[in-house]
């Protein structure tokens, strides 16, 4: 057992107790809402964290890449929704997963994709369960809930020999632009109403819509009810981050992922600390810039090694391997000698975590374990 201060920096740390509390909170929230939780593993991309998530084990998971599907499939997570619209080039790997007993459901939002999946499945003797993606207002991907195409594609999927129509799903990512709980409640309702309307439209053609799936951490947290919804996909809640705290989906004290970093210099002229967490270790995510100058966290909020936030401290600038820390009211350099350890709460945990190939799991300052993570695509 190593003390956290014995780790090389930069390192990605997970606070085990916070993680487990975040997981338990969302499990309870979905029980209260009366919906299944199908955790989106794209945030942590870790079999160990999946294994600590009751719903992931009991119901299944959501994945964002074929590589995640393969990795989690190999770790016995055999019930999956691959929630990014599929292209023909990915079908051989997905078929291989099906043959290994991994039930990986596919997503489509076009005639061309339906045709590709149906033809490939028929040719290769594989049957795929397929969901249609609905656009509930984010305008990233998916069909509008009032588009006639929805029911037409559902019918085609239902009838084709090599496809089964499994349901509809949507992601109200525009919730990330909300600034109040009331706005988030409205977006959550939009998300719910979109899949319910889509399912009704499809049902009216006599095609059963078994799954009605919505989700994001902000809408799952703020929804008033999820009547007509069968499952929620949420992901970043396992860690939380500074931006999530601004949306009221966690408190800063809940943020379970942080970057351990060392002071590597003093920029005395400008009164800044130089740390060894830069653009690669923190990412260039600037989502908190949208919160205005008062709440802008720069490239991350700075805490001491025990995760106590340093008032007014943020990473003001990043270079590839350098970060510059500013502290409101000025830096007392004597308090931050060379090698002094700090921890940075990320703006956006999904993006920051992607720079690391493993997690250092910490409880009470002790490194209890190292957990894996799957990056890349191929």
Q: Which residues bind a second copy (CB under 8 A)?
A: 7-11, 42, 64-66, 84-90, 93, 109-110, 112-113, 116, 135, 139-141, 144, 173, 262-267, 269-270, 274, 276, 279-281, 283-286, 317, 319-322, 324, 337-339, 350-351, 354-357, 375-378
In the complex, least distance from residue 9 CB atom to a second copy, rounded to whole angstroms: 7
Contact present, 207 and 165 (Cβ < 8 Å):
yes
C-beta of 182 vs 377, nearer to a second copy: 377
C-beta of 7 vs 291, nearer to a second copy: 7
In the complex, least distance from residue 151 CB atom to a second copy, rounded to whole angstroms: 18
In the complex, least distance from residue 184 CB atom to a second copy, rounded to whole angstroms: 18
Beta-carbon contacts of 307 under 8 Å, excluding residues fewer than 6 positions away, are 15, 258, 343, 345
Residues belonging to the chain: 378
In the complex, least distance from residue 208 CB atom to a second copy, rounded to whole angstroms: 25
Instruction: Please tell me the distance from the alpha carbon of residue 203 to that of residue 362, in angstroms, as a whole number.
Output: 49
C-beta of 53 vs 287, nearer to a second copy: 287
Helix (H) or strand (E) holding 67: helix 66-74
In the complex, least distance from residue 261 CB atom to a second copy, rounded to whole angstroms: 10
C-beta of 273 vs 307, nearer to a second copy: 273
C-beta of 294 vs 376, nearer to a second copy: 376
Contact present, 327 and 312 (Cβ < 8 Å):
yes
Task: Read off the tokens for 245.
Answer: 């705290």
Contact present, 283 and 341 (Cβ < 8 Å):
no
Q: Which burial class, exposed, middle or buried, applies to 306 when counting CB atoms under 10 A from its CB (0-12, 13-18, 19+)?
A: exposed
Q: What are phi and psi of 298, to 5 degrees?
A: 65, -125
Instruction: Please tell me the distance from the alpha carbon of residue 204 to that of residue 208, in angstroms, as a whole number.
Output: 9
The answer to whether the peptide bond before residue 10 is cis (omega within 30 degrees of 0) is: yes
Secondary structure (3-state) at 166: strand
Q: Which burial class, exposed, middle or buried, applies to 89 when counting CB atoms under 10 A from its CB (0-12, 13-18, 19+)?
A: exposed
C-beta of 230 vs 257, nearer to a second copy: 257
In the complex, least distance from residue 217 CB atom to a second copy, rounded to whole angstroms: 13
Instruction: Please tell me the distance from the alpha carbon of residue 294 to that of residue 91, in angstroms, as a whole number.
Output: 47
In the complex, least distance from residue 130 CB atom to a second copy, rounded to whole angstroms: 14
Contact present, 63 and 39 (Cβ < 8 Å):
no
C-beta of 54 vs 92, nearer to a second copy: 92
Query: Ramachandran region of residue 332, left (φ > 0), alpha (ψ -120 to 50) or beta?
Result: beta
In the complex, least distance from residue 225 CB atom to a second copy, rounded to whole angstroms: 27
C-beta of 163 vs 230, nearer to a second copy: 163
């Amino acid at each position: 057992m190593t003390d956290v201060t014995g780790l090389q920096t930069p390192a990605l740390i997970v606070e085990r107790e916070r993680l487990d509390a975040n997981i338990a909170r969302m499990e309870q929230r979905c029980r209260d809402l009366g919906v299944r939780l199908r955790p989106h593993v794209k945030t942590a991309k870790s079999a160990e964290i999946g294994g600590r998530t009751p719903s992931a084990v009991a119901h299944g998971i959501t994945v964002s890449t074929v590589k995640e599907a393969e990795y989690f499939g190999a770790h016995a997570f055999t019930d999956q929704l691959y929630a990014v619209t599929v292209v023909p080039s990915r079908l051989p790997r997905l078929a291989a997963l099906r043959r290994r007993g991994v039930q990986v459901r596919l997503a489509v939002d076009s005639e061309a994709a339906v045709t590709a999946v149906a033809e490939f499945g028929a040719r290769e003797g594989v049957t795929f369960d397929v969901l249609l993606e609905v656009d509930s207002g984010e305008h990233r991907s998916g069909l509008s809930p009032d588009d006639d195409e929805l029911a037409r594609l559902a019918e085609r999927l239902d009838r084709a020999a090599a496809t089964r129509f499994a349901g509809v799903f949507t992601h109200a990512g525009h919730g990330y632009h909300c600034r109040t709980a009331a706005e988030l409640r409205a977006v959550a309702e939009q998300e719910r109403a979109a899949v319910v309307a889509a399912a009704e439209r499809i049902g009216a053609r006599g095609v059963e819509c078994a799954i009605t799936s919505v989700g994001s951490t902000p809408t799952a947290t703020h929804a008033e009810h999820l009547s007509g919804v069968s499952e929620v996909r949420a992901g970043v809640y396992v860690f939380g981050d500074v931006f999530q705290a601004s949306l009221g989906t966690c408190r800063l004290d809940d943020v379970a992922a942080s970057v351990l970093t060392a002071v590597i210099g003093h920029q005395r002229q400008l009164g800044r600390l130089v740390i060894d967490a830069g653009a690669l270790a923190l990412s260039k995510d600037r989502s908190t810039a949208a919160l205005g100058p008062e709440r802008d966290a720069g490239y991350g909020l700075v805490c001491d090694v025990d995760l106590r936030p340093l008032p007014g401290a943020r990473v003001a600038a990043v270079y590839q391997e350098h970060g510059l820390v500013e502290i409101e009211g000025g830096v007392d350099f004597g308090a931050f000698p060379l090698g002094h350890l700090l921890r940075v709460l990320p703006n956006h945990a999904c993006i920051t975590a992607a720079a690391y190939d493993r997690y250092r799991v910490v409880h009470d300052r002790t490194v209890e374990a190292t957990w894996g993570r799957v990056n890349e695509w191929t």
